[in-house]
Structure 1
């Protein structure tokens, strides 16, 4: 469920940025790279995809530094995570910081919708940093075949898995079959959540534009708080 919430946050953020922030993406860096490339021929402006790509890179770097530093400390001190821990407290802190940054972006967006003369690339950079941080933090989980921010890989892995099922291809060992089926289900749920959040974002953009950013804020807030509560003593200060 937490991964679904994170996928919803990313799908909503990507829809929000594309519809209202210069047709750039905050999760789909493949798209931004293409937009930057065609901007050389004046087929698309370079400012927005460059701002989104730069913000994303900063977010990934910050999250990777925090989670990597925490992971090294855990390894050096031979600490074991308590039972039923969702993820380390460092990941939860990053998600809560992402939620706060998204809330700030929504506040800027709200003011812009009410007539404030704020360039659209300002909230775009905020949101791109947030989604980059989410991507960097989730790398620590190493969930095979599942990515919550850019879903081309999830599509590829799921279609590959379904093809194996349809063609009757043997899975490596019988013990892996339940895990394989569970992964397929999770991939399908991630894709549905990503799509549904984009639909909801599109509806908000055209019916309550000033509130377009509330979906990722809520999703990240729930995921971060729940992860924090389930983090036990496995904290950043351990």
Structure 2
């Protein structure tokens, strides 16, 4: 049951990543802050001199994503695949960071322009890197929260049409659909104001953190009830 809660939490984060990437790409000069594959491709085209394709922000986003992932990995250490209090720390930090960035975007004039936009995309990429590293530690197959390419490959190659048994097709399908709907939602929030989408992401990450944390608490409670500590009396 706990792993199902973990899966639900990661699917929720997959939706929020769709929002994040839509906001970064459409609102902040074609930068992916969650999907680094997209950034690498954009960076390659930009370095080739393609007109209107940025170089600085995708490059910095890639660097800061790696920094965020490295720091997250250092904090988490060898905790195994189960939820840990350090996992709560990482996801809580991502939620607080996104909330702070929503305030930043709300108060800074023209936050998408110049240095202000570069700071935003770099900081958000670091947060997404930390999130991705924490999600990877949990080892929920086919759900990384930041990319669905391998998920789509698995969905197609293991399908009955391909002669497979459609293993884990529900979670794979949900991951693809949720990142798609998340991108749609993120693009829609840009019609209102840039800060709104990031604020929603902060709420979603906070909700995912609560789901995961409470799920692990319930697991610990059941384990203690099943194996009580002998009394010394």
Q: CA deviation at 1:90?
A: 1.7
Aligned match of 1:159 in 156, 159, 171?
A: 156
In the aligned structure 1, how far is the partner of 2:151 from the partner of 2:163? 21
Aligned pairs (5 A) from 1:1-238? 1-43=8-50, 44-71=53-80, 87-112=83-108, 119-162=116-159, 165-169=160-164, 180=167, 183-232=168-217
Aligned alpha-carbon RMSD (Å):
2.3
* 8 Å contact from structure 1 (residues 14, 25) kept in 2: yes
Q: CA deviation at 1:114?
A: 6.6
SS at match of 1:146: coil
Q: CA deviation at 1:126?
A: 1.4
1:7-61 per-position Cα deviation (integer Å, ceiling 9, x unaligned): 0111111111111222110122112112222222332221110111011101110
In the aligned structure 2, how far is the partner of 1:210 from the partner of 1:136? 25
* 8 Å contact from structure 2 (residues 14, 175) kept in 1: yes
- Runs of 4+ in structure 1 off by over 4 angstroms are 113-118
Q: How many residues align?
A: 209
Relative to structure 1, the CA distance from residue 29 to residue 13 in structure 2 (aligned partners, 3 Å threshold; closer, same or farther) is same
* 8 Å contact from structure 2 (residues 19, 186) kept in 1: yes
Q: CA deviation at 1:167?
A: 4.2
1:188-235 per-position Cα deviation (integer Å, ceiling 9, x unaligned): 11111111111111111013333121221111000112222333397x
* 8 Å contact from structure 1 (residues 20, 120) kept in 2: no
* 8 Å contact from structure 2 (residues 69, 132) kept in 1: yes
Consecutive unaligned residues in structure 2, runs of 5 or more: 1-7, 221-233
* 8 Å contact from structure 2 (residues 36, 62) kept in 1: yes
SS at match of 2:158: helix
